[in-house]
Amino acid sequence: MRKVGFIGLGIMGLPMATNIMNKSGCDVTGFDVMEAARERFVANGGKVTANADEIYAESDVIFLCLPKNELVDSTVREIIAKAKSGTIIVDFSSTAPGVIRTLFPLVKEVGMELLDSPISGGEAGAIAGTLVVMCGGERETFDKVEGLLHCVGSTATYMGSTGCGCVAKLANNMIVGINLVAVGEAYTYAAKAGLEPTVLFAAIKGGFAQNAVMDMKVPKILSRDFSPSARIAVHHKDIKNAMQLANEMGVELPLSAVVLDHMNRMEEWGMIDEDQCALVKVFEKAMNVEVK
């Protein structure tokens, strides 16, 4: 039986670790710097450690679900220094492709393996185990952990060489971000023009404008529920990563630049840790109307 470590038991990580524990038959140990997060995994029936070194030393596969590029970088470097040869590192985080591509040869040099495997589907998908998993790295590594990936995702797709999973996630979140801004603008515009937003939602949700963003986020907006199932802060990081890669390639992303501007405003207003749907507040402030 393989020993699995899971580092990062937050909004996404906790249900993902729980699904791996419940579905894989593996011995799973979780770690998070927050004691409350560790306690929640214990409440779900999990085993935890207050010292990540224990996971590094004992695990055959280590999953990461961390919020920042810097944390992924430092954690992988710790694993390189402390884990055993043959350890497989699977990064579920939304990490910049350049970070993963820098780490990959360092991991290989010590006889370990690294797979960038960002996910999409939000908290609901993490709980249900229906996430979309996009993987970059060596095909042999993907084959070794594919069964574990299907514990958290309805699909797990091999995208190509190292960093390709990260690029796929950036493209995914560019589309999601543009949809979030479009929904916020359209519903605020409609409210300002005198339409009842709940009636508008019922009228158009089965039409050509329907998408997962509108289905999941508009009801939260209408109920003024901005508690995070997916924080703007994490999406903000992804859009900045996308813009950085675009700059490196010498291309422009005009629509993503608009998304980044709106997320920057939410950060300035101290609202960066609210749910993505709170981007509607940028339009509400500009049009002096509330969508509800």
Alpha-carbon distance of 156 to 131, in angstroms, equals 8
Instruction: Please give the structure tokens belonging to residue 118.
Output: 């960002």
Instruction: Please give the structure tokens belonging to residue 67.
Output: 């919020």
Please say if 23 is a catalytic residue: no
How many other C-beta atoms lie within 10 A of the C-beta of residue 278? 26
Of the candidates 3, 47, 144, 169, the residue annotated as catalytic is 169
Alpha-carbon distance of 64 to 29, in angstroms, equals 12
Identify the CA nearest to 21 among candidates 229, 83, 144, 40: 40
Which residues are designated catalytic? 169
